[in-house]
Each structure stands twice: as C-alpha cells, then as structure tokens.
Amino acid sequence: MTTMITGGTVVSATGATLADVLIEGEKIVAVLSPGSSIAQAAKDSAEVIDATGKYVIPGGVDVHTHMELPTSGTQSSDTFESGTIAAAWGGTTTIVDFPTQSYGRNVRECLDEWHAKAEGNCAIDYGFHMILGDVNDASLAEMDNLVDEGISSFKLFMAYPGVLMSDDRQILQAMQQCAENGALVMMHAENGIAIDLLAEQAVARGETAPVNHGLVRRHELESEATHRAIKLAKVGEAPLYIVHLSASGALEEVARARHDGANVFAETCPQYLYLSLEEHLGAEGFEGAKYVCSTPLRSSHEHHHADLWKGLRANDLSVVSTDHCPFCFKDQKELGAEDFRAIPNGIGGVEHRIDLIYQGVLAGEISLPRWVELCATTPARMFGMYPQKGSISPGADADIVLYDPEASWTISVDNHHMNMDYSAYEGFEIQGKVDTVLSRGNVIVSNDTFHGASSHGKYIKRSLSQYLV
Ligand code: DUC
Ligand code: ZN
Ligand code: ZN
C-alpha cells in the first residue's frame, strides 16, 4: 500500500520544513518538496493523510520501560499489551524494556521469560536491554551472546544490596566485558549501602512515610555513585550511560566527564523535570506513595529542575526516557503503608513523555528539533536502532506521529490508557496533542481511536550504539 502524508511540517533533529512523506508498505520511501511534480504524481496514486497545521515527527523511542516487572512482592501493572498500547496513544512507537536477571538466577533463563512475555503481545516494536543482577563468570560469558542477539546494552545497579547491586569488582568486570564486545553499560547510580543504612535509621526513628524515601536517597549519594561509575568506566575503558539522572550534582559529574572527552552519557525522565519531593513525594498522608521512584524526586528548594533543563540543552543529558514502571495505588503502592521501604518503586509515564517534553519547547527550555532529538533520534542512535527508528528519511520504518500544536487538554487518570488507578501528572494542562500515529506504515491511532493490534509489534535486534566516538 502507498500512503502519503501531505501538508505537514516535518520536524527532525536538525530542523523543520514543509514536506510530504511518501510511504510504501512499512517503509518511508521519499520526503518530497510539497507541490513538486514528483509529489503531485505520487499523491494521485496514494492514500493521503492530511497533516496540514501539524508537526510530522518520527515516532517516539522510549528506551527505558518496565512492563510486567516482578518486584516488591507484586509486579508493574502494565502488561506488554497494555503498556505498548498506552505508549502508542502517546506517540511512542518503540520501547526498549529490561529483562531482569535477579540474584542467583541464570541470564538466559530470565531473558527467555521476557521474550515469552513480550512476543505477540506488543502493539509497537520493542527491543531489550539486559539487567545483570548477578555478575559472575556465567553472566559475563553470556553477555557476548546477547550482543549477537541484539541486546547491546546492560544495566547494572549500584543500589539494592543483596538484591540487584553489583560491587565495584563486578562493575569493573562487566565494563571490561563491554569494552571487548562493544556494548553500552547503563548504570543505576546510587550508593545503595549508604541508602539502606539511612533508611534503617529513619524507620527506627518512626519516620515511615513516603517522603522518607526521598530524604534517605540523598542527592549526594547519586553524585557519589555517578562519579564512581564514571571513574570505573574510565579504568574499564567502556562507554557509560547513566539512567534516570535526577539531580544537579550527578549532572555535574556527567558534564565534567563529557567535557573531558569521555564516552559518558545520561538520560533524565519527565518526573525529574516536573515533580518534586515537597509537593508530590511529600503530599498529605500516604498520597506521596504515588511518587515513590528511584532515583527519587528532588527538592524544589534546590535547582535540580532548572539544571536538568539546562543539561538537556547542553547535551550533557542526551535522552529523555520515562522509566515507565507503573503500579496502582490500591493494593500495590499500599504495600508500603507502614514502611516506605516496602512501597514498589516506580512511576508510570510511557504515555505522556512526548507531550510533557513538548511543554519544554513552549516554555523556551528546548527547541523544536531538540524535542525530536531527545525523544526519538538520539535514543535510536544511542541504542543501535538508527535510522530504522528515530528518523523520517528514505529507508526508515514508517513510524510517524502527526502532532497537533493547536490542541489542548488535561492529563488525567480518566483519559489515560496505562493500567494505573492514578496519574502522576493529574491535572497537568497540555498544549499540543498526538493526533495520528503510524507504526511501520499502519495507522494505529487516529481520530481518538486505537486501530492497532497487540500482535503487531516486532522484536528489534539492535546494533551496537551508533552514538559513541
Ligand atoms: N530503577 C529503575 O530503573 N526503575 C525502577 C526502579 C529502579 O530502581
Ligand atoms: Zn534504576
Ligand atoms: Zn528503570
């Protein structure tokens, strides 16, 4: 089938221009000058999607999600099906999720479980990173096989001792392995040993409310771990990607390393740009549990939000992901009613990243092309999916979003599609709206209706990062 998107403003990571996009089957075959004789001829034999007044952008690439993640005696509340449908509604057409090896388990077994959960159940395309919760000789050997299978990045934890944490020896070993096989090390950079001590002491004092989750996970402990990870990566001669960076101090560490020329990168997430320790995590009663995530929300009395936006402009933060890890308030967040340490860690947001970051364009924090670069193009390049994903160019997958800058609406649990009984962004007024979404040439969202199928999404065998120097 031939489809042509006409009359829109095509926005890429480098600029915006009026152009028509010609699609043949699943692929983009041409980006044409509107009114040209070629465009006119193509239009006559194509199904036309009118994008007049809309931005035409590459489908969003969210490289940090946790669907069906078993944790804290429960599991994240979106299945691959519900989570990828919600992503599609929000203009994201690719996710990269995290198969998780927990301590004592075999990497291959855990990966197989994730493939079984995702295969045939995704509305959009998906790839995997692998979480290594037990770095040992067998896991190290398996890493090379995974790279061959398209899992070209590995997440390690400096937090959660006894559960997922790797010590410095294990981190260095995994980094050395990545230096050999070309994979990217992703790091959860928080000093878990110090955090667990502070958490124990807080609970012993009777400080059990959700806000204590943020108070004990001090920003100094994120900077310290970020610094250590950067130095270990230097010694291990491996590239490093810091996940869910939340604080000014950690950003300074990344910026310093980058300015020294290191292959060090970082992502942040909308919750760290818009939500705060006082207003959200510190909300009345047990409400703050809705905002328990790690790294935690930071204080609005400091300058984390402004610094993170600056980091996004300066490219010390290269990607915006969501760390989508949703839980319902009822029966899930409530598991920690007596002790903040038992509250499942995570916020759902896969549906709202494109909209929330677009508000940064309107506020003058980032440019229109930077929005596309942060939400689609760089994540695709960083994780070896470019130009198949993250690009409107001939040969790319026809994953395309028509975004209406004139529409306005309000985020609410009543209109979202994620499997959560609350929204972390309830009441946020949004200017701009996802209008139409194509995944590999198929219109999966239009006219406020989901037309996709949960068997449509395909596993993406990723290459090595295309972002490293
Ligand atoms: N880290 C994540 O990336 N997601 C959920 C919880 C965590 O610690
Ligand atoms: Zn993490
Ligand atoms: Zn995560």
Q: Is residue 332 part of a domain?
A: yes
My answer on whether 374 and 343 are in the same domain is yes
- Note down the domain range covering 138: 58-382
Dump pLDDT digits (tens) for 70-90. Answer: 999 999 999 999 999 999 999
My answer on whether 259 and 113 are in the same domain is yes
My answer on whether 108 and 29 are in the same domain is no
Dump pLDDT digits (tens) for 95-150. Answer: 999 999 999 999 999 999 999 999 999 999 999 999 999 999 999 999 999 999 99
> Measured in angstroms, how far is the CA atom of residue 246 from the centroid of ligand 2?
11
Burial of 287 (C-beta count, 10 Å sphere; 0-12/13-18/19+): middle
Cβ of 325 below 6 Å from ligand 1: yes
Residue type, 259: H
Q: Which of 113, 6, 125 is nearest to 397 (CA)?
A: 125
105 secondary structure, DSSP code: S
My answer on whether 28 and 122 are in the same domain is no
Q: Does the pLDDT at position 61 exceed 80? A: yes
Number of domains in the chain: 2
Does residue 219 contact residue 247 with C-beta atoms inside 8 Å?
A: yes
Q: Is 206 helix (H, G, I), strand (E, B) or coil?
A: coil
CATH code of the domain covering residue 359: 3.20.20.140
Dump pLDDT digits (tens) for 216-246. Answer: 999 999 999 999 999 999 999 999 999 999 9
pLDDT at site 399: 99
Q: Whose C-alpha lies nearest to ligand 1, atom 5?
A: 346
Q: Is residue 143 part of a domain?
A: yes
> Measured in angstroms, how far is the CA atom of residue 322 from the centroid of ligand 1?
11
My answer on whether 46 and 192 are in the same domain is no
My answer on whether 217 and 365 are in the same domain is yes
Q: Whose C-alpha lies nearest to ligand 1, atom 7?
A: 294
pLDDT at site 38: 87
Dump pLDDT digits (tens) for 251-267. Answer: 999 999 999 999 999 99
Q: Is residue 177 part of a domain?
A: yes
CATH code of the domain covering residue 12: 2.30.40.10
The Cα-based distances of 324 to 7, 351, 468 in angstroms read 34, 9, 25
Helical H segments across 184-303, by residue range: 192-204, 211-216, 219-236, 248-259, 270-274
β-pair partners for 308: none
Which chain residues have CB less than 5 Å from ligand 2, an ion?
A: 188
Does residue 446 contact residue 436 with C-beta atoms inside 8 Å?
A: yes
Q: Which of 1, 95, 93, 91 is nearest to 54 (CA)?
A: 91
Dump pLDDT digits (tens) for 334-387. Answer: 999 999 999 999 999 999 999 999 999 999 999 999 999 999 999 999 999 999
